[in-house]
């Protein structure tokens, strides 16, 4: 048999074997990607060691906190680390808990309550510690809603209190999480 004919026969055999494998119940189901677990990202906290008295500076920090949460949601979903459930469905509970707690990230039960209300697998709390205008720290914790435990704590240092440094911190964190999940499918779960 000539070499091109032999390669053609080999390719046809592989295609037939693949078709046969997909026809077997269960094999096709395993070939489908597993959907990521669901998660809600709670509003972020700010720990400001040196708060500014400037209203514009405070407004900029609050805007960056909201944007960081939205960026985190978007990137976690894009990387298929978690299927993000919007916080809006638990906004009333979130506001009630926020009035009762100084910091949401220090209240493990708060994350669990919000996750339960939205029927998510995980609830993610986040906070930024502002040591100075130059040194900030971006942190998250992933709470297993049903298991009542923290499954991941992650922190990234930021240099500079500006939109770019905040965005870079979120991108780095999610990229690192995705790389670690690829190496270990149980990472963050």
Residues 9-55 have pLDDT tens digits of 566 666 555 556 556 655 555 556 789 999 999 999 999 877 777 88
pLDDT at 115 over 60: yes
Q: What is the pLDDT of residues 44-84, one digit of tens each?
A: 999 987 777 788 888 999 999 999 999 999 999 999 999 99
Contacts 24+ apart (CB under 8 A), 64-71: 64/128, 64/163, 64/166, 65/128, 67/163, 67/166, 67/167, 68/44, 68/126, 68/128, 68/138, 68/166, 68/167, 68/169, 68/170, 69/41, 69/42, 69/43, 69/44, 69/126, 71/167, 71/170, 71/171
What is this structure's pTM?
0.79
**According to the model, what pLDDT value does residue 133 have?**
87
């Amino acid at each position: 048999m000539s070499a091109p004919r032999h390669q053609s026969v080999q390719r046809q055999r592989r295609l037939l074997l693949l078709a046969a494998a997909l026809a077997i119940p269960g094999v096709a189901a395993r070939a489908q990607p597993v959907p990521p677990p669901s998660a809600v990202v709670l509003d972020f906290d700010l720990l400001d060691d040196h708060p500014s008295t400037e209203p514009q500076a405070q407004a900029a920090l609050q805007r960056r906190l909201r944007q960081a949460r939205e960026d985190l949601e978007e990137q976690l979903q894009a990387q298929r680390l978690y299927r993000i459930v919007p916080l809006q469905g638990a906004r009333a509970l979130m506001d009630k808990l926020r009035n009762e707690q100084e910091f949401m990230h220090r209240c493990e039960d708060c994350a669990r309550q919000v996750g339960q209300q939205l029927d998510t697998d995980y609830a993610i709390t986040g906070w930024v510690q502002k040591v100075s205008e130059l040194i900030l720290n971006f942190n998250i914790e992933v709470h297993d809603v049903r298991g009542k435990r923290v499954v991941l704590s992650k922190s990234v240092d930021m240099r500079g209190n500006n939109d770019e440094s905040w965005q870079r911190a979120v991108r780095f964190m999610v990229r690192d999480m995705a790389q670690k999940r690829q190496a270990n499918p149980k990472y963050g779960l």
